[in-house]
Amino acid sequence: MGWPRKIFNTKDFMLTPESKLSHVLGPSRNELRRLRVTHLTEGVDWIVEKRRVVWTLSGVEKIRALLTLPPDQTASDPAGAVAMVLPEAVELLVFNPRLTNKKMILCYRPGTDPLRHENLLRVRVRSNENFVRFVHGKPMVIKARHIQADMYELAGQCPRRKGWTSPND
C-alpha cells in the first residue's frame, strides 16, 4: 500500500511488522506465517504487539537463513531488512478536489496543461474535504510523493481548513 514508515522500538530490540517484511524479503505473508509457526519461537523471534505480528532482529536473521538469502550487510542498522528510501516530495497543483472517492484528488504538475487528460495525476489523501482548486486566485499547491505510474500520496498533513496549507511546507 504505502512505503514502510514505522519500526517499533521497545526496550531491548527493534521490531519489524510482518507485512513490511514480506514486501522486502519477497515471500508472501502466508509463506512467512508458515515458516514462523514451524521454525521460530514466539517471544524470542517474533511477538504479537497491538494485534499484529512483529519480528525481532534475531527472527529476521533466522528467516533470511531459512530462505537462503544473504545476511544483512548493514549490521549497524537493526532494521536493515525494511530500510527503504522514500521518494522525493514534489509540488503539485490541485485540479479537482471533489471526486466521488473522498480519499483521492486530481492534480497536475506546474507548467503542464491540466485540461489534457494525460497530465492529470491521482493523489491519495486522508480526506478531500478541505482541498480547494484556487486559494486567493492561485492554484492550491501541495507536496506529494510518487508511488506508481500516475499515483501519488500526500506528503505531510491534510489542510485543517478550506485552502489552508502548512506554514512548514
C-alpha distances in angstroms, 32 versus 22, 23, 159?
A: 7, 11, 39
Q: Residue 100 has which C-alpha cell? A: 466521488
* Number of domains observed in the structure of the chain: 2
In a domain, residue 160? The reply is no
pLDDT digits (tens, 9 = 90+) for 31-55: 888 888 888 888 888 888 777 888 8
- Can you tell me which residue has the cell 528467516? 63
Same structural domain for residues 93 and 62?
no
**DSSP string for 138-154:** EEPEEEEEEEETTEEEE
Report pTM: 0.51
* 59 and 113 co-located in one domain: no
Q: Which residue has the higher pLDDT, 117 or 78?
A: 117
> Does some domain include residue 165?
no
Q: Which amino acid is at 163?
A: G
pLDDT of residue 144: 92
What mean pLDDT value characterizes the chain?
Answer: 79
pLDDT value, residue 113? 93
Question: Which residue range(s) make up the domain with 46?
Answer: 8-66
CA-based nearest residue to 156, from 139, 140, 138, 168: 168
The verdict on residue 25 lying in a domain is yes
CA distance 64 to 101: 40
Q: Are residues 57 and 94 in the same domain?
A: no
